[in-house]
Amino acid sequence: MNTVVPALALSGVSKHYGQVAALRAVDLTLARHSVLGLVGENGAGKSTLISVINGTVLPTDGELRVNGSVVAPGAPLAAARAGIATVFQEQGLVANLRVHENMLLGRERGFARAGFLGTNATAALARDVLNELGIAIDPMAVTGDLAFGERQLVEIAKAFALGRIYPVEPIVLLDEPTSALSDKETQILFNSIRRWRDKASIVLVSHRLSDVFAVCDHVTALKDGTVNGHWAVADATPDMLHEAIVGRPRSAGYYKESEQREDLGEIVLDIRSLTVPGQLRDVSLSVQAGEIVGVAGVLGSGKTVLGNAITGAIRPAGGEISIRGKRLKPGSRSDALAADVGFVPAERNIAGVIGMHSIEWNLTLPSLRSFRFGRWPVLSAARQARVTDSWIERLRVRTPGRAVQIRNLSGGNAQKVVFAKWLARGIKVFVLDDPGRGLDVGAKEEIYVLLRDLARQGVAIVLISDNLPEIIGLSNRIITLRSGAISAEINAPAHDKPAETAVVPHMV
Ligand SMILES: Nc1ncnc2c1ncn2[C@@H]1O[C@H](COP(=O)(O)OP(=O)(O)OP(=O)(O)O)[C@@H](O)[C@H]1O
Ligand SMILES: [Mg+2]
């Protein structure tokens, strides 16, 4: 086969949604057997581009060629036959099916034609693909029993399984696969990608520039729906990419250390001997007004469970949680809400926002009680609209207006709405689990500014994260969790931040 013909070539691709130009005359090439990084701000058009390539979105204009041949636009089956497989930004696995059933879901006929029939054959095929990718997951496991990151790996294996049906080399499109993965799972994925590079061509969307440098050969930056730069990774630097993505150079003091509050107030959140069988052991922690306490730990360390327990999303078996001296009812989300505890959970599409509702509704829902006329419980529509608009502006949510349904926002912009709904309400305690997930480098920085503002106003903040630079940069104090128990407490004053190497040994 002619090796100079690229695996994928897009020319002049545009996509308009009403007034919104999601893509404008995009040209893009993916060289055969290479990995192309696709980067850009929230709403830049990355997911739209992925959807145009896999045929689920019909472009307004433009042409797509696979191995030199034109593929019909807006035709998912034609794209699949050309070998294009996608791992979407939002997970699409069915929880009560087994792993191997999910891996061929929607492709049953193709598998049957390729000669794979019956449970044994599909399970064997699934095992084979998982093995080849180096993913240690049992194809017979029930998908819903797997951890979030493991389900993401199954999605990835599902995309690669497509290469077994159609006799073409797969072109695998990965839309932010690493944002839901721990460091360890990210390494598994990258090893899989390196192994597959001789048999496939890959597009990887990511907000982590470190992903680009770890595994990509080339990188294309999108900005406002157009291509704003293309490089061989060997010729690119993080600063160049940052500027192409955000449109301005990366600021020194990304984590706003100089604005860290050192004069803390009274204890706001007090946790005593919190226990969740098998997940948390005797965790005690207090957080003062204006303080940011970072919680670091590997997957399964209990850090997500801790966030869920503080906010009433799960009911601990023992221990107590008080807010300003008042005890919370264990496992009661409404009691935590009444005590002004805000929560940005790890799995935002489940617990964060309601997709079919508008931005305005999602943003003002937790604060409805403040939209009264005096004593009258009447909503002031005008005020609700004003508040929504001000947050859209402040967080730069890319949208034509407040009435837009959340599901029509880009992934990162939907997350900004999750933040805004708490900021609009006024809270005393803010628990955030992986707040940077899915946010572009500029939006992250905006969130960091907001967290510093909240701290200045006296909010007690618990920051759960996988991202060590973020935890170290933002926190006054860091606790590490290991097997459900606190393994260390490390001070992190603005003028004397600990090194990552001082934190990691307490996590593993
Ligand atoms: N179905 C839709 N209806 C209306 N507008 C849409 C729709 N899908 C996407 N858009 C808009 O198109 C633009 C590009 O969105 P896209 O999802 O491609 O961004 P993205 O680069 O993937 O962002 P993120 O990093 O946040 O995932 C956004 O302004 C978004 O609001
Ligand atoms: Mg996206």
Sorted by where each begins, the domain ranges of the chain are: 8-246, 265-340+429-494, 357-426
> Is 42 close to ligand 1, i.e. is its CB under 6 Å away?
yes
Averaged over 418-435, what is the pLDDT? 89
Which DSSP string corresponds to 386-454?
A: HHHHHHHHHTT---S-TTSBGGGS-HHHHHHHHHHHHHHH--SEEEEESTTTT--HHHHHHHHHHHHHH
Distance of CA 265 to the CA centre of its chain: 33
Give the pLDDT score at 78: 92
Cα separation, 396 vs 392, in Å, equals 6
> Is 14 close to ligand 1, i.e. is its CB under 6 Å away?
no
First to last CA, the chain: 48
* Residue whose CA is at the smallest distance from ligand 1 atom 7: 408
What separation in angstroms does the CA of 453 have from each of 90, 186, 292? 31, 32, 11
> Is 46 close to ligand 1, i.e. is its CB under 6 Å away?
yes
Give the pLDDT score at 236: 95
- Assess whether pLDDT exceeds 90 at residue 115: no
pLDDT tens for 212-230 read 999 999 999 999 999 999 9
* Residue whose CA is at the smallest distance from ligand 1 atom 8: 408
pLDDT tens for 70-110 read 999 999 989 988 989 888 766 677 888 899 888 877 766 66
Closest to 447 measured CA to CA, from 479, 415, 469, 475: 415
Take residue 29 and report the two structure tokens written for it.
Answer: 């090439």
pLDDT tens for 266-324 read 999 999 999 999 999 999 999 999 999 999 998 889 999 999 999 999 999 999 999 99
Superfamily the domain 8-246 falls into: P-loop containing nucleotide triphosphate hydrolases (3.40.50.300)
Averaged over 481-500, what is the pLDDT? 94
Cα dihedral 80→82→87→91 (10° resolution): -10
Cα separation, 124 vs 218, in Å, equals 35
> Is 408 close to ligand 1, i.e. is its CB under 6 Å away?
yes
What is the atom index within ligand 1 of the atom nearest the CA of 415?
A: 26
- Assess whether pLDDT exceeds 90 at residue 26: yes
Give the pLDDT score at 159: 81
The pLDDT confidence band at residue 374, using thresholds 50, 70 and 90, is: low
Q: How many CA atoms lie within 13 A of 214 on its CB side?
A: 16
The CATH architecture one would assign to domain 265-340+429-494 is: 3-Layer(aba) Sandwich (3.40)
Inter-residue contact 250 to 223 (CB < 8 Å):
no
Q: What are the residues facing 282 on neighbouring strands? A: none
Give the pLDDT score at 231: 97
Inter-residue contact 323 to 491 (CB < 8 Å):
no
* Total residues found in the chain within this entry: 508
Cα separation, 318 vs 316, in Å, equals 6
Going from the Cα of 402 to the center of ligand 1, the distance in angstroms, rounded, reads 15
Highest mean pLDDT, choosing among 38-52, 143-157, 363-377: 38-52
Region of poorest pLDDT, from 67-71, 106-110, 173-177: 106-110
Going from the Cα of 486 to the center of ligand 2, the distance in angstroms, rounded, reads 35
Region of poorest pLDDT, from 347-351, 426-430, 486-490: 347-351
Burial class (CB in 10 A: 0-12, 13-18, 19+), 144: exposed
The alpha-carbon radius of gyration of the chain (Å, integer) is 24
* Residue whose CA is at the smallest distance from ligand 1 atom 18: 45
What separation in angstroms does the CA of 302 have from each of 124, 299, 465? 34, 8, 12
What is the atom index within ligand 1 of the atom nearest the CA of 23?
A: 14
Give the pLDDT score at 377: 52
Inter-residue contact 178 to 146 (CB < 8 Å):
no
Take residue 505 and report the two structure tokens written for it.
Answer: 């040994």
Mean model confidence pLDDT for the chain: 88
What H or E segment, with its residue span, contains residue 64?
strand 61-66
- Assess whether pLDDT exceeds 70 at residue 378: no
The reply to whether 8-246 and 265-340+429-494 are identical in fold is yes
- Assess whether pLDDT exceeds 70 at residue 400: yes
> Is 316 close to ligand 1, i.e. is its CB under 6 Å away?
no
What is the atom index within ligand 1 of the atom nearest the CA of 51?
A: 18
- Assess whether pLDDT exceeds 70 at residue 113: no
Averaged over 338-347, what is the pLDDT? 87
Closest to 126 measured CA to CA, from 151, 148, 98, 146: 98
Q: Could you say which ligand is closest to the alpha carbon of residue 222? A: 1
Degrees (nearest 5) of the Cα angle 71, 75, 76?
105
Inter-residue contact 453 to 290 (CB < 8 Å):
no
Q: What are the residues facing 488 on neighbouring strands? A: 480
Which DSSP string corresponds to 207-263?
A: S-HHHHHHH-SEEEEEETTEEEEEEEGGG--HHHHHHHHHSSPPPS-TT-GGG---S
Q: Could you say which ligand is closest to the alpha carbon of residue 399? A: 1
